[in-house]
Structure 1
Amino acid sequence: MDKEAVLAHIRMSKGMSTLLGGELPVSVIHNNKYISPLTSEAQVTDRNVEENLCSLDHAVHTALSGEIKNVMLVGPEGSGKTTALEKLVVDWAKGDHLQNFSYVFHFRIRELNSLNGALSLETLMLLHHGLIPPEAMPLVMQKPECVLFVFDDLDHCKQSVDPSVHTLCSDPNQAASLSCVVASLLHGSLLKGAAFVVTARSTACVKSLTGTQVEVLGFRKPQREAYFNGFFPDPAVANKALIHMERTLGFYNICTSPRFCWTVCSIYKSLMDAGTKLPETLSQLYVDILVHLIQMLSLNEAFNRDLVLALGKMASHCFLDQHSSCTKEEIGSFGFQQFLTSLSVFLQVDGDQSERCVFSFHSQMMQEFLLAVSFFLDKSTPEGVEKMLEKHKGHAEFVDVFLSALSEPVQRRPLEILLGELNLGRIADFKRWFKSTSETAMKGHYKEKHFHCYHLLQQAQNESLVREIINPSARIGISYGALSHKDSVALNYVFSLLGEIEQLNLYNSNNFSEEKAEALLPTMSLSHKIILSSSSLSTGAVLHLASALRRGFTKELDLYHTYLGDEKLKILCTGLRESKVLDINLRVCKLTEASCDELVSVLTSGASQLCVLHMSSNEIGDQGLIKLCKALHSPHCKLQELNLRDTKLTAQSMEALSAALCSGQSELRKVDLTQNVIGNSGMEALCKSLKHPLCKLQSLTVFDNELTGDCCPHLMDALMSEHCSLSELDLSVNELGQKGALLLCQALTRPGSPIETLRMNRCELTQPVFKELGSLLKSGTSKLKSLSVGLSDVGDQGVKYLWDAIAHPNCLLEELDVEMTQLTDAGVDDLCAAIRASKTLKSLELRNNLMTDAAVPALVQVMQDSETMLEMNLKYNDFSEDVFELLEECDRIRY
């Protein structure tokens, strides 16, 4: 094969480049401006990890050197597939790559579509390019392993290449449809052993093919920077254009398209040269593009109008019939007769200018924009907006977005200067539809509908419309996690106009990138509460979050289960030191002792307002807590609540905590030490602080801390102290036993004891302990309002002491938890009598007991009669479905 002839064929200019078509591949390659798009191969699991990505050229060369030399490139329009294929062929023809192939045949499916009738593979190879003499054909057929076929735009095949659609042919001289010949090649029926590279916009088009599937990602940020720097000679101008495109247009995913980058650079240059303002939205960009294209033709208003109406008809036809292209005969029905010489400005023309050429839109986005413009331009039919949108649903994704922008006078004005006034009736109809559907969507809980509303509002750029639609009835507190960059921009536009907002819920944002965080920076600054729990934050995103905290109104920050790590927390703390944050949740964030140094600097900064710190399930250890305790000695530290559940603490750090609580500087009111092995010695250290006059602690949770009854004398001593200020004590899941628990009951008899909440679930309690608790509740000195003694094997007799107490006028109890205490139907009369007699009881936890259907009528009746009881939980008792209907009669019973 004559490689010089191949190069000459590639270098032949095909069509003309427009703002929508992008720069021609031949120009990109010839002028050394080629930048290989990034790719992510199918087997890569984490597509967000930059190091897993490689250039498209490298991916193709690697795949073609494998055992199965078949490659399918899949990516959206404009992602660089066509240019990459032409570069592949040029490199082969120049001898740079793929020299194991003697013959390379490069076909564009769009051009082949202009060929009518049946043809054979041999005819296709001989006639279409004319790059191989007939006498060489037998040699080609004898050595298929030396042949590479390159097919661009497989989506444009008139039929699927799935083998089930065709009767595949095996004879190179057999005439068949183009789709059948291509399918036979790709499935190995024709020229078995030959390699191929194909491109398609969707995986559905290549799902029947065997080989390496490569996802074409287009341009990532470094490649975009290189492209813009190559387009604009002035680096400052290049940077301004790039930042404006990424931050302002709001469709970050489109910015990965090399074609879109070329279009943006071209229109920006035109606008900058004219001293005109750059577009604020995607819709405004397409208004500028359409104005530019129309002005190129220098037609009058009537001709401009007819041309756009014809383009709109073609756009609708292609969407509804799911055709990507139209023949010359078809476009005649749309009203293009007088514009045939001008069509290459708007459409891609493949084939010669005879009746066999085909026409298609360069860009689906522009196809949708033209559909929107022509709908508002058309005054000939009474079709309503709802009917039009329903008709194109599933085909045109952005048409209502463009309609939203065009419904605003300021945004449509540049087009009306060239096209005349749009159809004001249709615009009013759209506005009615938009307001109605948006208000309905914003009252619902579907975030996709919320985001769509935000996109429409952002494109409209109408502040009063935002305030009208996002009114107090809108549910903007729902989770907006896993949002895209374009969602971030739209959400930020809307929320920034609303001013301070109560809550920004970004729960489960799997890839909260620097770009998304940057787009949301103003909104984060305006949010009183930011929820990012179960999210994945990049380092850049944390930088922007820190900036938002430093200058914003945020009082509560939830980063639960974000696996933040020490380094990212260090960045976050630069913002926390000067923030208004009162409450931060850092549970399950992979923090270690090193993070505690940063948190100490925040707590002692003097500017920090932090008073609630959740550190659960982080391996800070004793040394980490000892560091935090240093902050508690500072007069600047405002910390009132410290949650240290499962943080690998032992008795070693309890002395430091106790000393801090007694320092006179500590403002700590609540400490949670759940699931730390502090043991009796650690508890003994804490008891020293509980009876200290300077200790302000009001709530202590030592749930599952490996305590035994041996610590109870020390705890009793502390609780008996007149200086003890504890009102809430949780000792659950510790083996206190009867002896230890009785000591605690004795301590609570002290007149003036402040304890109002006591939890001793699964503490080895016995009937004598329940008896003592009953006496305590009736004593008239106890302030207990909430008591939890579940998972105690005391039966009806043991719990009866509590029922008797509840019925006593001195008892102040409002909540009682007796889950899994072996209650049976025999104790139901006492239970009901207690509820009837009590003036304070509001909640009963009766889960996991042994009551049966026989108990249900009495329990339902007493709940219906009670004026004070708010809830009774009967889940997991021995009830059958026969009583479910009766239980449903009382909505205060859970079962």
Structure 2
Amino acid sequence: MARMLRRVITEPVCKRRKIDQSKNQPQNFNENMDSAFSNDSKPHEVLRTFKSNLRKKFECLCEGTSDERNPTLLNEIYTELYITESESGEISNEHEVRQIETQSRRTATEDTPIKCNDIFKALPAQDKPIRSVLTKGVAGIGKTVSVQKFILDWAEGKENQDVQLIFPLPFREINLMKNQTLSLLHLLHLFFPETKELEISSGEYKVLFIFDGLDECRVSLDFHSSVRLCDVSESASVDVMLTNLMKGNLLPSALIWITSRPAAADLIPSECVDRVTEVRGFTDKQKEEYFSKRISDESLANRIISHLKSSRSLYIMCHIPVFCWISATVLERMLSEAESEGEIPKTLTQMYTHFLIIQTNIKHQKDYEKKVKNDEDMIFKLAKLSFEQLVKGNLIFYDEDLRECGIDVAEASVYSGLCTQIFREEFGLYQGKVYCFVHLSIQEHLAALYAHISITNNKRNVFNKARKSAQVETSISKLHQRSIDESLRSKNGHLDLFLRFLLGLSLESNQNLLGGLMTQTVRSSHSNEKSLEYIKKKISSTRSPEKSINLFHCLNELGDGSLVEEIKHHLKSGTLIQTKLSSSQWSAVAFVLLTSEDELKEFKLSDFVRGGNKAERLKVLRNLLPVIRESRSVQLMKCKITDEGCVALTSALRSNPSHLRHLDLSDNNVGDSGVKLISTVLENPHCKLETLKLWGCKITDEGCVALTSALRSNPSHLRHLDLSDNNVGDSGVKLISTVLENPHCKLKTLKLMKCEITITDEGCVALTSDQTLGDSEVKLICDCTGESSL
């Protein structure tokens, strides 16, 4: 069951093909090495050897177990990833698949793309040198492969030749030393013995440390500790060494690169990070490039792409390189002429179930039957490991974790794809082993399989801790309901995809696929009907639009698209505005809009609701917040929005502050309290709002205080501000004028129409103090309309 449990650095973006190792070396490698190290002195010879060793280590993506390699040249199959400069290292409370689903429509926006090899190069507008970079991205998105490509290009003399030494120190390997006390120099000598003859502490060499996989770190990183370490030869605990290195106390000239999943990104304080980048995975164009490289048959590659495009949920998941590999593995086999029978996967559960079966077949082909008891026993044990570690939030496992689930390491290693040992043999340290699934979604699928098998074969609900109690719930529908409740209660959505898989596995078609792996299958059509009713009930009652969207994905896994089709009909026929929708139907509207292929450029609340009282409009607004969050322009003019609506609106905008460009709240009773809320979004340094319309919003000078404070914090993006028909008064105008004086202020239009009653000569004087205003413009403000074009 190839590579289900395996080394992350071998993220499968490759074709299976044997390589003639004698031909691996690029033609210009020796020339580049000689150019970089023209001096034949001993240190330069060591540097040449060091670089050559890293090249050999990172030039291939290896498949299979550590002693049975099937390498592929990285440079031949590498597909460039979409990497952007991110707004912050803040954590995300969404499931990572939901993050991919929302980010999939952002690749065409005005983000700042950065090439992997340029992450330490300042942009034209940045004058501060970049010492430390935090790169975040969901599991399987390509962080580790990006690190590998960066190192390989450096080792081959192609990029970043100003750096003399790169030390890759993955956290999963550092974890094995978490109880050690040693110096940084000693640690480097252990990991890289050839560096013993180099004076690393002298500052002679430009050094880069790469810490891959912060989310896998089991070392306690205390950045508030007062312990200061400045000497590379001074011994300390591993955590003290790492934090002092990242804070710049230890080797302050060294470059630092840390990669992490979003949920762990805030473990590093912002003051220790000069730049945050984000790996977004593949763009649509890069997806096609990947499949053309992965599948040698061009016609078959095009058929695979066409099929994936026909299922929006699958195509969105292809932003993740690992999912592209899973899809290619399954669809290459199923769409080929020889094996064209059977239903082609259209849901995540179908895709992952086929993948599981294919990997089992690979095991049989390798004739390992005598070494394992049977497929079902091993799959069940690994599925148990998956569930128990998923509940704990662990993606990385160690020997003791496997033993607790009854997994014999020697036996498990037979399954080259299902369970691959990761030895520390690269650096000659210890014999500790680290295990992981190739992607979190595979762990979630196996966890769901464990829950399903437990209820069908053993009549046990995995969520019920009182397992021996007579009151244990044993029906599939009760398990589904409990799982739905657990998913809805989860703050970070870590059970959302597990829930989709669990429900999908209850379909008879998927159970038939698993027939060889399960001793029992249960006819569950009646149970599924109960589950469908329960999901729809929860959609109608949940206050979280994000949770509702995942429940719609669950309906899709169960093959029920009735609510969605009904809404699509209303949208297509233009009857939505005349129809009184329930909460469930409004959630369906959000789901349909977010899963469409069209980019959400403009949101108008008036397109969805007209008339009605304030409560009804607020209800619609809240249900459509996920849509607002992904829109470039939000038009809420004359929508009876109050400060209560601003609370909901602000929560959506805060979660994605860099996306919105235009916001119109005109002719609403937002008042000063509403403006204060909106100002919290404006003051975010990552907010890029260009147009803000607030005419007729009952704003006074109190609201201007908050607005001015926000614009002082972030003056460089807003271009157009409309405060017409508000009681801003002289004091409010004075405050706004202080923003105009800021040399970074980019405001082009300031509208103060119908404010002439409250603006006196004193207010005009405040505006004229800004040198960018001429006499004619002042006259226009004071005597006529109150509008100033700056």
Say whether the fold is shared (TM-score over 0.5): yes
Which structure 2 residues correspond to residues 94-109 of structure 1 after superposition, within 5 A?
Answer: 94-109=156-171
Instruction: Tell me which residue corresponds to 2:301.
Output: 238
> 1:123-171 CA deviation, whole Å, 9 max, x = no partner?
2211113342x221xx210117611111111221113434126845333
Does 1:374 find its partner at 2:450? yes
Q: 1:248·1:280 contact (CA, 8 Å) conserved in 2? A: yes
**Is the partner of 2:382 in helix, strand or coil?**
helix
Which structure 2 residues correspond to residues 204-219 of structure 1 after superposition, within 5 A?
Answer: 204-208=266-270, 209-219=272-282
> 1:450-472 CA deviation, whole Å, 9 max, x = no partner?
433321121122579999999x9
Deviation at 1:481, TM superposition (A): 6.3
Instruction: Tell me which residue corresponds to 1:346.
Output: 418
Instruction: Tell me which residue corresponds to 2:340.
Output: 275
Which structure ranks higher in relative contact order (CA pairs < 8 Å, sequence separation ≥ 6)?
2
Does 1:35 find its partner at 2:80? yes
Does 1:418 find its partner at 2:517? yes
Does 1:409 find its partner at 2:508? yes
Instruction: Tell me which residue corresponds to 1:461.
Output: 559
> 1:26-79 CA deviation, whole Å, 9 max, x = no partner?
835242534243323438999654564424325414249951321111111122
Instruction: Tell me which residue corresponds to 2:641.
Output: none
Q: 2:62·2:72 contact (CA, 8 Å) conserved in 1? A: no
Instruction: Tell me which residue corresponds to 1:584.
Output: none
**Is the partner of 1:233 in helix, strand or coil?**
coil
Query: Of the candidates 357, 366, 389, which is equivalent to residue 318 of structure 1?
Result: 389
Deviation at 1:446, TM superposition (A): 5.7
Query: Of the candidates 231, 237, 240, which is equivalent to residue 180 of structure 1?
Result: 240
Tell me which moved more, 102-111 or 449-458. Answer: 449-458
Deviation at 1:4, TM superposition (A): 4.6
Deviation at 1:312, TM superposition (A): 2.0
Amino acid at match of 1:374: Y
Closer, same or farther: CA 114–348 of 1 in aligned 2, 3 Å: farther
Deviation at 1:201, TM superposition (A): 0.8
Which structure 2 residues correspond to residues 673-822 of structure 1 after superposition, within 5 A?
Answer: none
Which structure 2 residues correspond to residues 443-462 of structure 1 after superposition, within 5 A?
Answer: 447-461=545-559
Mapped partners of 1:482, 1:465: distance in 2 = 12
Instruction: Tell me which residue corresponds to 2:646.
Output: none
Which structure 2 residues correspond to residues 261-272 of structure 1 after superposition, within 5 A?
Answer: 261-272=324-335
> 1:729-754 CA deviation, whole Å, 9 max, x = no partner?
xxxxxxxxxxxxxxxxxxxxxxxxxx
> 1:794-837 CA deviation, whole Å, 9 max, x = no partner?
xxxxxxxxxxxxxxxxxxxxxxxxxxxxxxxxxxxxxxxxxxxx
Q: 2:549·2:587 contact (CA, 8 Å) conserved in 1? A: no
Mapped partners of 1:266, 1:348: distance in 2 = 18
Q: 2:222·2:239 contact (CA, 8 Å) conserved in 1? A: no
Amino acid at match of 2:307: H
Query: Of the candidates 11, 17, 24, which is equivalent to residue 63 of structure 2?
Result: 17
**Is the partner of 1:197 in helix, strand or coil?**
strand
Closer, same or farther: CA 487–562 of 1 in aligned 2, 3 Å: same
Query: Of the candidates 38, 47, 50, which is equivalent to residue 2 of structure 1?
Result: 47
> 1:695-742 CA deviation, whole Å, 9 max, x = no partner?
xxxxxxxxxxxxxxxxxxxxxxxxxxxxxxxxxxxxxxxxxxxxxxxx
Q: 1:348·1:361 contact (CA, 8 Å) conserved in 2? A: no
Identity percentage of aligned residues = 21
Mapped partners of 1:185, 1:513: distance in 2 = 41
Mapped partners of 2:526, 2:178: distance in 1 = 47
Query: Of the candidates 260, 267, 290, which is equivalent to residue 200 of structure 1?
Result: 260
Does 1:80 find its partner at 2:151? no
Q: 2:363·2:416 contact (CA, 8 Å) conserved in 1? A: no
**Is the partner of 1:418 in helix, strand or coil?**
coil
**Is the partner of 2:377 in helix, strand or coil?**
helix
Q: 1:15·1:344 contact (CA, 8 Å) conserved in 2? A: no
Q: 2:154·2:160 contact (CA, 8 Å) conserved in 1? A: yes
Query: Of the candidates 272, 284, 290, which is equivalent to residue 221 of structure 1?
Result: 284
Which structure 2 residues correspond to residues 283-298 of structure 1 after superposition, within 5 A?
Answer: 283-298=349-364
Paired residue total: 508
CA RMSD of aligned residues (A): 4.6
**Is the partner of 2:539 in helix, strand or coil?**
helix
Q: 2:212·2:260 contact (CA, 8 Å) conserved in 1? A: yes
Does 1:397 find its partner at 2:457? no
**Is the partner of 1:117 in helix, strand or coil?**
coil
Q: 2:117·2:159 contact (CA, 8 Å) conserved in 1? A: no
Query: Of the candidates 103, 115, 123, which is equivalent to residue 56 of structure 1?
Result: 115
Instruction: Tell me which residue corresponds to 2:779.
Output: none
Query: Of the candidates 170, 186, 203, which is equivalent to residue 123 of structure 1?
Result: 186
Gapped runs of 5+ residues in structure 1? Answer: 490-500, 515-531, 536-560, 564-589, 591-895
Closer, same or farther: CA 144–248 of 1 in aligned 2, 3 Å: farther
> 1:267-325 CA deviation, whole Å, 9 max, x = no partner?
22122232244311111110111111122222779722222221122112222333332
TM-score (norm 1): 0.50
Mapped partners of 2:394, 2:70: distance in 1 = 24
Q: 2:120·2:130 contact (CA, 8 Å) conserved in 1? A: no
Deviation at 1:443, TM superposition (A): 6.4
TM-score (norm 2): 0.56
Mapped partners of 1:404, 1:18: distance in 2 = 32
**Is the partner of 1:54 in helix, strand or coil?**
coil
Closer, same or farther: CA 279–28 of 1 in aligned 2, 3 Å: farther
Deviation at 1:562, TM superposition (A): 11
Mapped partners of 2:156, 2:79: distance in 1 = 16
Which structure 2 residues correspond to residues 818-857 of structure 1 after superposition, within 5 A?
Answer: none
Instruction: Tell me which residue corresponds to 2:467.
Output: none
Instruction: Tell me which residue corresponds to 1:169.
Output: 229
Which is greater in Rg? 1
Amino acid at match of 2:423: G
Mapped partners of 1:433, 1:462: distance in 2 = 11
Deviation at 1:195, TM superposition (A): 0.8
Q: 2:587·2:624 contact (CA, 8 Å) conserved in 1? A: yes
Amino acid at match of 2:536: S
**Is the partner of 2:130 in helix, strand or coil?**
coil
Q: 2:535·2:555 contact (CA, 8 Å) conserved in 1? A: no
Closer, same or farther: CA 7–170 of 1 in aligned 2, 3 Å: same
Instruction: Tell me which residue corresponds to 2:251.
Output: 191
Mapped partners of 1:15, 1:223: distance in 2 = 19
Mapped partners of 2:582, 2:398: distance in 1 = 49
Amino acid at match of 2:143: K
Query: Of the candidates 450, 456, 478, which is equivalent to residue 586 of structure 2?
Result: 478
Q: 1:405·1:460 contact (CA, 8 Å) conserved in 2? A: yes
Mapped partners of 1:55, 1:25: distance in 2 = 32
Q: 1:168·1:189 contact (CA, 8 Å) conserved in 2? A: yes
> 1:153-210 CA deviation, whole Å, 9 max, x = no partner?
1221113434126845333233344333222211112222211111111232334432
> 1:321-374 CA deviation, whole Å, 9 max, x = no partner?
333322212211202127322354134643348762121222111111101111
Amino acid at match of 1:89: I
Amino acid at match of 2:407: F
Amino acid at match of 2:398: T
Instruction: Tell me which residue corresponds to 2:151.
Output: 89
Instruction: Tell me which residue corresponds to 1:660.
Output: none
> 1:404-437 CA deviation, whole Å, 9 max, x = no partner?
1111101221112333324668x97676344224
Deviation at 1:381, TM superposition (A): 5.6
Tell me which moved more, 296-305 or 377-386. Answer: 296-305
Q: 1:78·1:258 contact (CA, 8 Å) conserved in 2? A: yes
**Is the partner of 1:199 in helix, strand or coil?**
strand
Q: 1:172·1:191 contact (CA, 8 Å) conserved in 2? A: yes
Tell me which moved more, 97-106 or 447-456. Answer: 447-456
Does 1:308 find its partner at 2:379? yes
Amino acid at match of 1:293: Q
Mapped partners of 2:437, 2:318: distance in 1 = 19
Deviation at 1:448, TM superposition (A): 3.9
Closer, same or farther: CA 263–102 of 1 in aligned 2, 3 Å: same
Q: 1:63·1:71 contact (CA, 8 Å) conserved in 2? A: no
